[in-house]
Amino acid sequence: MSHLFDAIDWPVRTERLLLRRATRDDLDATWRFRKLPEVHDWLGAATERYEAYRERYLREKRLADLLIVELDGRVIGDLMLKVEDGWAQEEVADQAKDVQGELGWAFDPAFGGKGYATEAARALVGLCFGPLRLRRVTAACFYDNEPSWQLMERLGMRREQHTVKESLHRTKGWLDGLTYALLAEEWPTGTAGGGSGLSPSSRWAAARCRPIATVRSVLAMIKRVSKILLPAILITTGTLAGCSAAASGATSGQPTTGTASAATVADHTEATHIAVWSVNSDGPDFQAILTGAVGDYGPGVTVHPDGSSDPDHTSELELKLSRGSFRVSIAALDAAFVKAVAQWPYNKQTCSIHSAITGTALVVAGSGTGAYHGITGGFTLTISLDEDYIKGPACSETTGFKAQLILISGTGSIRA
């Protein structure tokens, strides 16, 4: 039986990963992580028993829908694409055959926190809207499976449905469910390989001097949220002194992409704007873009000083940009913010809150690499919080929020 995957020239490579068709020989490699409780707890069928998993894995239709994700020759996850018909009235049903796909994924948690799942899933979406010519993709999960729906949002998918206690979990009982979707016209061209690492959207802006560095409009993200629960949006902005070499390179014949020398950000005073954002602020992963004197982009992650992931954002923010990386210490700012939030009054009539604090965030000494080697300086940043809570006996975190926006902005003086 033919499959849409037959139209792809396999394997497909991204910046760090290799995607290929699954085979019977991948049984043990996939079971190695799918048997883990933290993985199979959220899967549609329990996979902790080898024989049961073997029987299910080797089903011809399931194997045909499966892709293997490799990192340096090691299997670290798998992706699923089920091609489906769209709903249509009877007279036009033939035009809705095989036009959309359901996405799924499972990854080895030992490789979590490095963006591999996002990179692989983005590549699959690029294939769906590129050579496979699908018009729409969907993905669904339990509401409690937060890492999965956060991945859907990093892909730029729209939350279309939040069902209340509609999905029966094998041990947790009836849970809420979520469904996300994305249309082909909402996906930018040229992203099938997932190399840039930026979440796609129909609204993109090109940064000056870096035409390939793009960022999703904050307003577009806010408008796309669910009526039942608006995901938190964390946006970090600041200004630093940097180099205009990216602009001058265009006139001097020097490339404006690729690896730059440390001189690129040295001995200039023109301001650079930094924006760092994350849909849902509970995790450590962000995206970043620098415009102005320094045009750059890439992922950001909150980490401890030893480099381990810091999902509570209590220590340092590491910006892993295309031309190098550096860290900013956010420990003092976070401590002041947490303390202040507890003292801010709520508007009891609307069950909402707004306030702001200002603090200092310094570049971590010795953290710069590549073009940012030797970078020093810091920012004066203001954090503002806006939240609308679900009305209850008390307007507070205990009632849960309907909408949340955290905005961090400011200026700084940076030298490398």
Work out the average pLDDT over 180-203.
56
* Listed range (19-23, 246-250, 295-299) with the worst mean pLDDT: 246-250
Q: Which CATH class is domain 4-186?
A: alpha beta
Q: Check: CB of residue 158 under 8 Å from CB of residue 140.
A: no
Distance CA 50, CA 44 (A): 16
Helices and strands counted in the chain (H then E):
9, 19
Distance CA 375, CA 377 (A): 7
Distance CA 236, CA 412 (A): 13
pLDDT at 158 over 50: yes
What's the distance, CA 155 to chain centroid?
Answer: 6
Work out the average pLDDT over 318-343.
85
Q: Per residue in 105-146, pLDDT tens?
A: 999 999 998 999 999 999 999 999 999 999 999 999 999 999
Which pLDDT does position 36 carry in this prediction?
93
Domain residue extents for the chain: 4-186, 204-415
Q: Per residue in 239-271, pLDDT tens?
A: 443 333 333 333 333 333 333 333 333 344 457
3-state secondary structure of 34: helix
Residue 67: both structure tokens together: 């892709």
Residue 233 binned pLDDT confidence (cut-offs 50, 70, 90):
very low
pTM: 0.51
* φ/ψ of residue 207, rounded to 5: -80, 145
Laid out side by side, the sheet with 18-21 consists of: 12-13, 18-21, 66-71, 74-84, 100-107, 136-142, 173-183, 158-169
3-state secondary structure of 325: strand
Which pLDDT does position 189 carry in this prediction?
55
Distance CA 122, CA 109 (A): 18
Distance CA 243, CA 384 (A): 29
Distance CA 295, CA 32 (A): 42
Distance CA 54, CA 20 (A): 20
Establish whether the linkage from the previous residue to 11 is cis, with ω within 30° of 0.
Answer: yes
Cβ-Cβ contacts under 8 Å for 72 (sequence gap 6 or more): none
What value does the mean pLDDT of the chain take?
Answer: 77
Which pLDDT does position 360 carry in this prediction?
84
Cα radius of gyration rounded to whole Å, the chain: 23
3-state secondary structure of 409: strand
The residue ranking higher by pLDDT, 271 or 370, is 370
Q: Check: CB of residue 229 under 8 Å from CB of residue 402.
A: yes
